[in-house]
Amino acid sequence: MTLSSLNWVSRFTDQTPGDAEKGGTSRQVPGACWSRVDPTPVPEPVLRLWSREMAVELGIEAGEGDVLGGSSLIKGMDPYAQRYGGHQFGNWAGQLGDGRAITLGEAETGEGVLELQLKGSGITPYSRFADGKAVLRSSIREFLCSEAMFHLGVPTTRALSLVTTGEDVIRDVMYDGRPAPETGAVVCRVAQSFLRFGSFQIHAMTGDFETLRKLVDFTVRHHFPGHRTDSDEALLEWLKQVADETARMIAHWMRVGFVHGVMNTDNMSIHGLTIDYGPYGWLEGYDRGWTPNTTDARTKRYRFGNQGRIGEWNFARLLESIGPLMSDPERLYEALDYYRESYQAHDRNVWAAKLGLGELRPEDEELISGLVSNLEMVETDMTILFRSLSNLSSPDVSQIEFAFYDPETIPAQEWAQWLSEWWQRVDGQPDLEGMRLANPKYVLRNWMAQLAIDAAEKGDYSVANELHEMLKAPYDEQPEHEGKWYQKRPEWARHRVGCSMLSCSS
Ligand code: AMP
Ligand code: MG
């Protein structure tokens, strides 16, 4: 079985309004949810990374590099770029759309329809001033991280393949006026759909309530079984599900130490999936104020500790855009309240699971805030600290020492105090096995991705493959990987571009 034997359907282009023109140059496309456009063929497509798990889900064994690189199409595919808008860093940015992504088609797998989309396959009517292409470094980051997130149990879009194109792409990595050629690549990503909050916003913001209505009906009919759209009540029920899935996703990010970095409303999936892996990062030292995104360095709007609240802000923008379809839009506040409650509940579950507390008690609030305050006292590796707790045999500071960057400055007294409180709370018998399922041992640390990139840029994909394999079992001990990858950030990575700072220049 290959891509050509899949059962290709085209529900989205058949059932929602689209652009009358195919392809063409950048333009406004009022009244449309999509524009037909073919991927741009590339000189030398070579398949470099492949997700067997994703392929199995699709029901295929192998992929054709030329198709996954955008150089040829299969009968039944109906490629298009989606139109959407979005609030970027808090400001309405108007029409954005798939500027460098092209959906090849939707495949009926027997257990549901999945959309296959190429990222980096050339210009579309939504490319604006950019080239529609992607570089190897950001493609590796998307491929590895989305698969790692899946295996961590975090809702996410998936990656099937990474193909290099044999063509250079010019990028100014740090926007400092020093553009340089980089290897071009295309990732094929997969999800039930790539609809975003911004997909709905664009129609509401332009006053096109007819198209908005059609898109909402389509979305609920195909993606939210059991829901309806024919009354305020029904719309609210649907929105509450979106609220819950969004809150659940962000609580998972907080559990594993993931910072999305660009939580603009065009990067918020309607399915509560982590989407659009750009300048994301993973906490090394626990720090609620950290963001990897240099574009956001001043206000840190999308910092780790703000993600739950930004989810709420973004969800409010989605609610506003559904308002025009309701007879009593005031009722949308019910859905907003629901997000808040839902996030709180998921957040509590996360802490309970990470600390093996079972049912959370009111007095646990203090235990948790004490922990956070200890974690932020000196640079303390989040992943190692929680993993150490998950293997603790006695409430002894020596058992968590490995999590600290500087053995000289460990706040031993504060930790001794906290450990003994926690130990008492769990009656000296923490559910370590349960905790090990909430506290991963291996995550895609920023410097790990960078090592995979450095090697791949020299044509060596062994590091990327090694990480891909290891991150399929992030909760297992995997002692063979411990010495190399269960490690705090090495000093060389502290200030290196790509490790501690990332831009949107992908
Ligand atoms: P992002 O912040 O990466 O999600 O992208 C924001 C918007 O910019 C989306 O509409 C993207 O499609 C568009 N975009 C980003 N990079 C490119 C590129 N290289 N070519 C065309 N459009 C791009
Ligand atoms: Mg985006």
Q: 391 Cβ partners below 8 Å, 6+ apart?
A: 399, 432, 436
Binding site membership of 132 for ligand 1 (Cβ less than 6 Å): yes
**pLDDT given at position 77:** 96
Closest to 499 measured CA to CA, from 452, 466, 458: 452
Q: 374 Cβ partners below 8 Å, 6+ apart?
A: 380, 411, 414, 415, 418
Distance of CA 4 to the CA centre of its chain: 28
Alpha carbons within 13 angstroms on the beta-carbon side of residue 217 total 12
Binding site membership of 278 for ligand 1 (Cβ less than 6 Å): yes
Which residues of the chain are modeled with pLDDT < 50?
none
Going from the Cα of 97 to the center of ligand 1, the distance in angstroms, rounded, reads: 8
Looking at ligand 1, which residue's alpha carbon is closest to its atom 22?
A: 99
Distance of CA 471 to the CA centre of its chain: 16
Going from the Cα of 99 to the center of ligand 1, the distance in angstroms, rounded, reads: 5
Binding site membership of 89 for ligand 1 (Cβ less than 6 Å): no
**pLDDT given at position 5:** 92
Binding site membership of 95 for ligand 1 (Cβ less than 6 Å): no
**pLDDT given at position 425:** 98
**pLDDT given at position 220:** 98
Residue by residue, DSSP assigns 269-308 as BTT--B---SS-EE-SB--TT---BGGGTTT-TT-GGGHH
Task: Please give the number of the atom of ligand 1 that sits closest to the Cα of 262.
Answer: 2
Going from the Cα of 266 to the center of ligand 2, the distance in angstroms, rounded, reads: 6
**pLDDT given at position 506:** 64
Task: Please give the number of the atom of ligand 1 that sits closest to the Cα of 276.
Answer: 4
Largest separation between any pair of C-alpha atoms in the chain: 69
DSSP one-letter code for 42: -
Binding site membership of 276 for ligand 1 (Cβ less than 6 Å): yes
Looking at ligand 1, which residue's alpha carbon is closest to its atom 20?
A: 132
Name the region of 94 (left: φ>0; alpha: ψ -120 to 50; beta: rest). left
Structure tokens at 272: 């509560």
Going from the Cα of 329 to the center of ligand 2, the distance in angstroms, rounded, reads: 28
Q: 20 Cβ partners below 8 Å, 6+ apart?
A: none
Binding site membership of 127 for ligand 1 (Cβ less than 6 Å): yes
Binding site membership of 504 for ligand 1 (Cβ less than 6 Å): yes
Residue listed under structure tokens 């994703």: 54
Please state, in angstroms and rounded to a whole number, the distance separating the CA atoms of residues 140 and 464: 8
Q: Give the pTM.
A: 0.98
Looking at ligand 1, which residue's alpha carbon is closest to its atom 3?
A: 278
Among the listed residues 78, 98, 244, 266, the single catalytic one is 266
Q: Is 266 a catalytic residue?
A: yes
Please state, in angstroms and rounded to a whole number, the distance separating the CA atoms of residues 76 and 90: 39
Looking at ligand 1, which residue's alpha carbon is closest to its atom 18?
A: 132
Please state, in angstroms and rounded to a whole number, the distance separating the CA atoms of residues 485 and 496: 18
Give the residue, out of 34, 96, 141, 165, with the most ligand 1 atoms within 8 A of its beta carbon, to mutate for a pocket test.
96
Map residue 402 onto helix, strand or coil.
helix
Going from the Cα of 297 to the center of ligand 1, the distance in angstroms, rounded, reads: 20
Looking at ligand 1, which residue's alpha carbon is closest to its atom 13?
A: 99
Looking at ligand 1, which residue's alpha carbon is closest to its atom 19?
A: 132
- Residue pair 36/104 in contact (Cβ under 8 Å)? The answer is no
Going from the Cα of 276 to the center of ligand 2, the distance in angstroms, rounded, reads: 5
List the helix and strand counts (H, then E) for the chain: 16, 13
Beta bridge partners of 190: 116, 158
Looking at ligand 1, which residue's alpha carbon is closest to its atom 14?
A: 99
Going from the Cα of 98 to the center of ligand 1, the distance in angstroms, rounded, reads: 7
Binding site membership of 85 for ligand 1 (Cβ less than 6 Å): no
DSSP one-letter code for 20: S
**For the chain, what are the domain ranges?**
3-197, 359-430, 446-493
Structure tokens at 340: 């808040």
Binding site membership of 133 for ligand 1 (Cβ less than 6 Å): yes
Binding site membership of 122 for ligand 1 (Cβ less than 6 Å): no
Going from the Cα of 232 to the center of ligand 1, the distance in angstroms, rounded, reads: 34
Name the region of 258 (left: φ>0; alpha: ψ -120 to 50; beta: rest). beta
Instruction: Name the closest ligand to CA 194.
Output: 2
Looking at ligand 1, which residue's alpha carbon is closest to its atom 6?
A: 96
411-429 pLDDT tens trace: 999 999 999 999 999 999 9
**pLDDT given at position 384:** 98
**pLDDT given at position 237:** 98
Binding site membership of 99 for ligand 1 (Cβ less than 6 Å): yes
Map residue 231 onto helix, strand or coil.
coil
Please state, in angstroms and rounded to a whole number, the distance separating the CA atoms of residues 148 and 140: 12
Closest to 153 measured CA to CA, from 382, 439, 505: 439
Please state, in angstroms and rounded to a whole number, the distance separating the CA atoms of residues 202 and 222: 20
